[in-house]
């Protein structure tokens, strides 16, 4: 029973990661992509937790769903401003 | 190299990687099983070193030299960003305008900031005991500070974030790790050897050099992320082209 529950959790998080990653690839607007990437980071953190790797999950959560999207959003803002000027 | 030759090299590389990967997977312990040859040895070594968190024992004791490499990669990456995103000639620094923030966002950010900061420091300090450590805690501390930007505005963030000090702390953190490693040599053992008393298992002061190395990495990572985001924020909010600035001012006047 417990093993079946574990498997179900692993499969569910894998499916979520696959869906979020596909969505991140198909999203063409970088600003929206940052938000999807943040969701993907959350999904990966969940997957690592389910696979009993909480250390990696913490790193993933902090970097993947907070720092990376913020850096992308700041870059998009700057690039758009420069484009408008040209 | 022509396009054709590039494709051949790519195919050869992919095939080689696929073959090695398949061969490795065939001899791996089955997924979810109870047989973990490496894990068992790592746990045994961690228990001998009285470090409750085996992952920290692997990262900061059994393979501390690998972590020095990883820490240096982050250090080099941030150094590169600092050089690339500097203010160049023809660019001017402007004072960002205060921004208005919805009161709900402001309340939430102000309430969460001290909590997030505390959690970050807790994660750094308890690296030898529970999941987390210098890297994870360091990133949490750095992101917690940026709640000031989300909840108040850029000027409030700037007031608590003298970038020069964080750049210094970044270098000190990186240097502390190297020096702690050299302490192992001075004690007559190997570089980055765990030479300190190991303490009582599952207490804050256990694990010998593991908590100290964690503190060094925590300092380095927290400052590195702060410096990194400071450069990105400065480019997006503070640094403008001299030509562009004149145009923006003109546009603003037209709108008014």
Rounded to whole angstroms, how far apart are CA atoms A11 and B87? 49
Average pLDDT over residues B57-65: 94
What is the number of residues in chain B?
Answer: 256
- Does A55 touch chain B if contact means CB atoms closer than 8 Å? yes
At A83, the pLDDT band (50, 70, 90 cuts) reads confident
State the smallest CA–CA distance between residue A23 and chain B in angstroms: 26
Query: What's the whole-number average pLDDT of chain B?
Result: 90
What does the pLDDT read at residue B251?
A: 58
Domain residues for the domain of B149 are 54-255
For residue B210, the model assigns a pLDDT of 94
CB contact (8 A) between residue A71 and residue B55: no
Burial class (CB in 10 A: 0-12, 13-18, 19+), B130: middle
Domain assignment present for residue B48? The answer is no
What share of chain B has pLDDT > 90, as a percent? Answer: 70
Query: Helices B210-233 and B64-84: crossing angle, nearest 10°?
Result: 20
| pLDDT band with cut points at 50, 70 and 90 for residue A34 | very high
Rounded to 5 degrees, φ, ψ at B88 are -100, 175
Please say if the pLDDT value at position B60 is more than 90: yes
What tokens were used for B223? 């400052």
B39 within a domain of the structure (yes/no): no
How many C-beta atoms surround the C-beta of residue B97 within 10 A? Answer: 10
- Dihedral angle computed from the Cα positions of residues B129, B132, B138 and B144, in that order, rounded to the nearest 10 degrees: -110
Instruction: Examine residue B32 and state whether it is found in any structural domain, yes or no.
Output: no
Q: Could you tell me if B60 lies within 8 Å of chain A, comparing CB atoms?
A: no
pLDDT tens digits, one per residue of B130-153: 999 999 999 999 999 999 998 988
Q: What is the pLDDT of residues B20-46, one digit of tens each?
A: 999 999 988 888 788 888 999 999 999
Q: Which helix (H) or strand (E) holds B247?
A: helix B242-255
Q: Which among B132, B143, B236 has CB closest to A67?
A: B143
Q: Is A75 on the interface with B (CB under 8 A)?
A: yes
- B57 or B32: whose pLDDT is higher? B57
Q: Locate tokens 């360091």: which residue?
A: B138
Read off the pLDDT of residues B195-231 as tens digits, 9 standing for 90 and up.
Answer: 899 999 999 989 999 999 999 999 999 999 999 999 9
- pLDDT tens across B158-189, in order? 888 899 999 999 999 999 999 999 999 998 78
Domain tally, chain B: 1
* A60 contact residues in B (CB cutoff 8 A): none
Residues of A in contact with B225 (CB under 8 A): 67
Query: What pLDDT band is residue B90 in, cutting at 50, 70 and 90?
Result: confident
pLDDT score of B256 more than 60: no
Determine, for residues A59 and B136 on separate chains, whether the beta-carbon distance falls below 8 Å. yes
Would you state the pLDDT for residue B227?
A: 95
- Is B58 within 8 Å of chain A by CB? no
Residues B149 and B233 sit within 8 Å (Cβ to Cβ): yes
Q: Residue B55 is inside which H or E element, if any?
A: helix B54-57
State yes or no: pLDDT of A5 exceeds 90: no
Residue B132 touches partner A, C-beta closer than 8 Å: yes
What does each C-alpha distance from B19 to B9, B81, B85 come to in angstroms? Answer: 15, 38, 42
Tokens of A10: 């692993």
Q: Do B140 and A78 touch (CB under 8 A)?
A: no
At residue B248 the predicted structure's pLDDT band, cuts being 50, 70 and 90, is low
Q: Give B27's contacts (C-beta < 8 A, 6+ positions apart).
A: none
Query: Is A58 in the B-facing interface, judged by CB distances under 8 Å?
Result: yes
In whole angstroms, give the CA distance from residue A82 to residue A55. 40
The sign one gets for the Cα dihedral B142, B143, B144, B150 is positive
B232–A74 CB contact, under 8 Å:
yes
């Amino acid at each position: 029973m417990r093993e079946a529950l574990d498997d179900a959790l692993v499969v569910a998080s894998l499916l979520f990661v696959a869906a979020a990653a596909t969505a991140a690839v198909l999203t063409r607007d970088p600003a929206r992509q940052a938000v999807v990437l943040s969701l993907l980071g959350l999904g990966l953190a969940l997957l690592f937790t389910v696979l009993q790797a909480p250390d990696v999950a913490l790193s993933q959560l902090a970097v993947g769903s907070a720092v990376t999207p913020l850096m992308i959003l700041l870059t998009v803002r700057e690039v758009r401003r420069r484009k408008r000027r040209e | 190299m022509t396009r054709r030759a590039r494709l051949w090299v790519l195919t050869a590389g992919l095939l080689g990687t696929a073959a090695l990967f398949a061969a490795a997977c065939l001899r791996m312990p089955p997924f979810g099983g109870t047989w973990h040859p490496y894990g068992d040895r790592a746990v045994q070594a961690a228990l001998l070193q009285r470090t409750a968190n085996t992952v920290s024992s692997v990262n900061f004791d059994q393979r501390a030299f690998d972590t020095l490499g990883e820490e240096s990669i982050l250090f080099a990456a941030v150094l590169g960003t600092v050089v690339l995103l500097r203010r160049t000639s023809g660019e001017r620094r402007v004072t960002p305008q205060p921004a208005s923030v919805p009161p709900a966002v402001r309340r939430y950010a102000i309430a969460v900031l001290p909590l997030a900061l505390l959690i970050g420091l807790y994660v750094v300090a308890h690296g030898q005991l529970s999941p987390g450590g210098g890297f994870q805690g360091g990133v949490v501390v750095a992101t917690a500070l940026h709640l000031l930007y989300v909840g108040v505005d850029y000027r409030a963030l700037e007031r608590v974030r003298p970038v020069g000090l964080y750049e210094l702390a970044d270098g000190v953190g990186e240097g502390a790790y190297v020096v702690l490693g050299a302490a192992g040599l001075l004690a007559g053992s190997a570089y980055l050897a765990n030479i300190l008393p190991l303490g009582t298992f599952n207490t804050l002061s256990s694990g010998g050099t593991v908590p100290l190395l964690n503190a060094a990495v925590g300092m380095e990572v927290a400052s590195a992320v702060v410096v990194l985001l400071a450069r990105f924020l400065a480019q997006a909010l503070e640094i403008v082209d001299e030509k562009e600035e004149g145009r923006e001012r003109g546009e603003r006047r037209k709108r008014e």
